[in-house]
Structure 1
Amino acid sequence: MSNILNTALELMGFLDTNEEDGFENETKSKIDNKKTISLLPKTSQPIIVHITPKAFDDVMDLVKRLQNKTIVTINLALVDVALSNRIIDFANGAVYALDGGVLKLADNVYLLAGQGVTLQERDTSNFPWNKEPI
């Protein structure tokens, strides 16, 4: 009966028996030889795919690749202006939904990336091909 009373008093905080029990917290110094599995994703080289769409239906391939975390460059030089605007609008919406980014590389050439890829523009005015000839 005293065990029940001591347990109840200990649970209410009136009795502290941790020091009186004589138990010591033992830590294992040996590591178990069990197979461990890493929960961190494996880092791999990013995949970059170039797409030159000829019709609006080609945009679905672009979106599927973005969903699979592939970086995509798209060249819109072979399509007319109206279709080019439609394709880039759709691609921008997909990138926005995937929390990614778009970078214009040149006229009608864009780089699209999904989440986890940081896109930075550099100042290209000092590159030799952008300087005025002497």
Structure 2
Amino acid sequence: MERIKNFFGFGEDLGDEDDIYESEPIVAVEPQEDRSQSVERSQRPRTTTKPALNIHSNSNVQMKICIHEPLSYDEAPLIVDDLRLRKAVVLNFEQLDMNIKRQIFDFVNGSLYALDGKIQKVNKDIFILAPSNIEIEGLKAELQEKGVFPW
């Protein structure tokens, strides 16, 4: 109890506390090697990061392309959900009036920016939206020649 009182300054003044510590012997401690952490580099598991997948029309990778023809602004989150699931999206605005088209386009375009996605215009009211794992290459004419988008 006296130690606690002295620690907080309520007890008796014993003078210099340095004298107490000088009388204690100093023991040198050698660091011990921890064998569990000293694994050689060749035995450590290698971590690699996979680059983004480039999907081309002639590859063997199966890919789903979702086609959305929204009729109201309420369908915009559904488009973004497909992009978040790393699916390519064809967005058709042909049946919409200009105000709703602008609202949906702004929402989807902001989401694409946040997801590091890409957008490619096919014609006036049709767009291709691709998440970050899909790369859009080629011009509209090249895509039509390959039969990917025959419109």
TM-score, normalising length from structure 2? 0.52
Q: Which residue number in structure 2 is paired with residue 101 of structure 1?
A: 118
Q: Which residue number in structure 1 is paired with residue 136 of structure 2?
A: 119
Q: Is structure 2 residue 80 aligned with structure 1 residue 73?
A: no
Alpha-carbon distance between aligned partners in 1 of 2:132 and 2:140, rounded to the nearest angstrom? 24
The CA deviation string for residues 63-111 of structure 1, in whole angstroms up to 9 with x for no partner, is 1110000111110111101111111111111111110100011111011
Amino acid across the alignment from 1:78: Q
Cα distance, 1:44 vs. partner?
4.2
Q: What's the RMSD between the two structures over aligned residues? A: 2.8
Secondary structure of residue in 2 paired with 1:91: helix
Q: What are structure 2's unaligned runs of at least 5 residues?
A: 1-29, 34-48, 51-59, 146-151
Secondary structure of residue in 2 paired with 1:124: helix
Alpha-carbon distance between aligned partners in 2 of 1:84 and 1:58, rounded to the nearest angstrom? 11
Q: What are structure 1's unaligned runs of at least 5 residues?
A: 1-7, 12-38, 129-134
Alpha-carbon distance between aligned partners in 2 of 1:52 and 1:83, rounded to the nearest angstrom? 12
The CA deviation string for residues 16-51 of structure 1, in whole angstroms up to 9 with x for no partner, is xxxxxxxxxxxxxxxxxxxxxxx97xx841110100
Identity %: 25
TM-score, normalising length from structure 1? 0.59
TM-aligned CA distance change 1:124 to 1:63, over 3 Å: same
Secondary structure of residue in 2 paired with 1:95: helix
Cα distance, 1:120 vs. partner?
2.2
User: What is the aligned length?
Assistant: 89
Q: Greater CA radius of gyration, 1 or 2?
A: 2
Secondary structure of residue in 2 paired with 1:104: strand
Q: Which residue number in structure 2 is paired with residue 60 of structure 1?
A: 77
Q: Which residue number in structure 2 is paired with residue 89 of structure 1?
A: 106
Alpha-carbon distance between aligned partners in 2 of 1:67 and 1:76, rounded to the nearest angstrom? 21
Cα distance, 1:55 vs. partner?
0.2
Q: Which residue number in structure 1 is paired with residue 36 of structure 2?
A: none
Alpha-carbon distance between aligned partners in 1 of 2:134 and 2:123, rounded to the nearest angstrom? 20
Moved beyond 2 Å, runs of 4+ = none
